[in-house]
Amino acid sequence: MSETKDIREAVEAELAFDPLLDESDITVRNMNGDVALNGTVPSYPQYLEAAAAAQRVAGVKNVYNHLEVVLPPGQYVDDPRLTTLANNALTVNITVPGGVEAAAHDGNVRLTGAVRYGSQRIAAELAVAVLAGVRNIKDDIAIIGDADPEDISVLVQDALERYAVVADDSDVAVDCFANTVTLSGHVDTWAEHDAVVGAAWMADGVFEVIDELSITG
């Protein structure tokens, strides 16, 4: 049995195993560890979960999520109400600073405003993602800050040295220019990959993270 078929079948098995997913309308394609998910899911959380499930499978290097959210009958929420629900969710979430706003159009929610940390932008996405009626999220939240690029590199590298999931002999390199962090090198798993990217987004003053990490697992 080919490795391509092994990975595809393993991803299909993981999708079926995940209790948070209805995988009946998902098709999986694999090309040398690059996995594409096609088809439909009934909610935005399942859209996110499908990609997370595929990333858990050994041998998967990249996941291309082409799934479309098709809401079941009765789950559609009109634009004014979804906009109100999304803004209420942002307001009550203490990790999302004031000034972040949402606007909905046909189930597509656009987030705007400004935050200081990338983790706050992620928190805003997660606050809205669980709402009924959401089909997609476009995050246009700006990150503002005045940290020195050299300081950012040191802070991120120090964080990686503290993280248990990052190997002691890791060759991950952190380069920062004009508040953009570029990550390069090799990681063994998606968990390690996400920890490295997450560390970069947590640093004060990071406007953008360019992910050039290679997953070897």
List, for residues 72-110, the tens digit of each pLDDT value. 988 899 999 999 999 999 999 999 999 999 999 999 999
Q: Say which CATH topology domain 79-143 has.
A: Histidine-containing Protein; Chain: A; (3.30.1340)
Query: How far is 89 from 211, CA to CA, in rounded Å?
Result: 30
User: Domain 149-215, what architecture?
Assistant: 2-Layer Sandwich (3.30)
Looking at the chain, how many residues does it have? Answer: 217
Average pLDDT, the chain: 91
CB distance 173 to 185 below 8 Å: yes
Query: How far is 100 from 98, CA to CA, in rounded Å?
Result: 6
Residues of the chain with CATH 3.30.1340.30: 3-69, 79-143, 149-215
Average pLDDT over residues 39-57: 96
Please report the pLDDT score of residue 4 as a whole number.
Answer: 58
Average pLDDT over residues 31-47: 95
Burial class for 174, CB neighbours closer than 10 Å (0-12, 13-18, 19+): buried
Q: Kindly give the pairing relationship between strand 26-31 and strand 208-215.
A: unpaired
Please report the pLDDT score of residue 86 as a whole number.
Answer: 98
CB distance 204 to 176 below 8 Å: no
Question: The tokens 């290679």 sit on which residue?
Answer: 214
Please report the pLDDT score of residue 178 as a whole number.
Answer: 79
Question: The tokens 């002999």 sit on which residue?
Answer: 169
Please report the pLDDT score of residue 179 as a whole number.
Answer: 80
Largest pairwise CA distance in the chain? 54
Average pLDDT over residues 129-134: 95
CB distance 104 to 82 below 8 Å: yes
Each residue's pLDDT tens digit, 11-30: 999 999 999 999 999 999 99
User: Domain 3-69, what architecture?
Assistant: 2-Layer Sandwich (3.30)
User: Looking at the predicted structure, is the pLDDT value of residue 1 above 50?
Assistant: no
